[in-house]
Amino acid sequence: MKTRDKIIQASIELFNAQGERNVTTNHIAAHLTISPGNLYYHFRNKEDIILSIYEEYARSLLLDTLPKVSAQIKPLDSLILYMDSVFQTTMRFRFFYSNLPVLLDKNPALREKYVEVQQSISERVSQLLISLKKADFIDFNDDELADIVSILRLINTFWVSFHQTQTMVNEINDSVFYQGVLKILVILRPYTKAHAISELNQARDVYLQRCQKEREIS
């Protein structure tokens, strides 16, 4: 792995473990046993590192988590697979959401990229919900679409951060992720057609079992 990539990966690890505000470029260099000068050869400052991390995050969100709707994939499965991917990606880069407003204020380039990526994500979630409506799985008024998308994205984006504020144990594991998916299913229930409720319940039961299993392990 190239030094630049090592710096990015080490920064993600340290930011997640200790909080971005508590980690300096000197900490990152020491963690990698390289000189600060070597780090500054690749990045001008910590904000430059964070921007590069977000670019990696954005690539993952926009490429690896592309929602798929087809005749071979059930409508609800399409949504859950997508939300699974988004949650997992968000958890990998979770330090962003512990201090997001401050990070965006300090780095105009990051804010510009963030807004651009979030707009793309909103469009994708909208398209997925419309596909579910066409498949006769859910139903909603057209003027409700934007609000539903916003609520789903709020949960996807900030569930992990919210969970961390509700417990004395600041540990993130798969159980937290599964709880986030369950919240998504709760939001969708009022919009789910009567004939599709059983399928929604099956998905809920799967995630309840996974959540319980993970709690027993930990």
> What is the pLDDT, as a whole number, of residue 67?
60
- Using H for helix, E for strand and C for coil, what is the string for 78-123? HHHHHHHHHHHHHHHCCHHHHCHHHHHHHCHHHHHHHHHHHHHHHH
Rounded to an integer, what distance in angstroms lies between the CA atom of residue 135 and that of residue 196? Answer: 11
Query: Confidence class of residue 174 from pLDDT cuts 50, 70 and 90?
Result: confident
Domain extents for the chain? Answer: 1-43, 46-217
Asked if the model's pLDDT at residue 80 lies above 70, the reply is yes
Residue 48 has a CB neighbour count (10 Å cut-off) of: 16
Mean pLDDT over residues 88-116, rounded? 88
pTM across the whole model: 0.82
Residue 166 has a CB neighbour count (10 Å cut-off) of: 6
Tell me the three state secondary structure of residue 25: helix
Q: Which amino acid appears at position 110 of this protein?
A: L
Query: What are 24-75's pLDDT values in tens digits?
Result: 999 999 999 999 999 999 999 999 999 999 999 888 877 766 665 566 777 7
Rounded to an integer, what distance in angstroms lies between the CA atom of residue 144 and that of residue 137? Answer: 16
Assess whether the region 1-43 and the region 46-217 belong to the same CATH fold: no
* CATH superfamily of the domain spanning 1-43: Homeodomain-like (1.10.10.60)
User: Which strand (E) or helix (H) includes residue 38?
Assistant: helix 36-42
Q: Which CATH number fits domain 46-217: 1.10.357.10, 3.40.30.10, 2.60.40.1840, 2.30.110.10?
A: 1.10.357.10
> What is the pLDDT, as a whole number, of residue 127?
87
- The residue count of the chain comes to 218
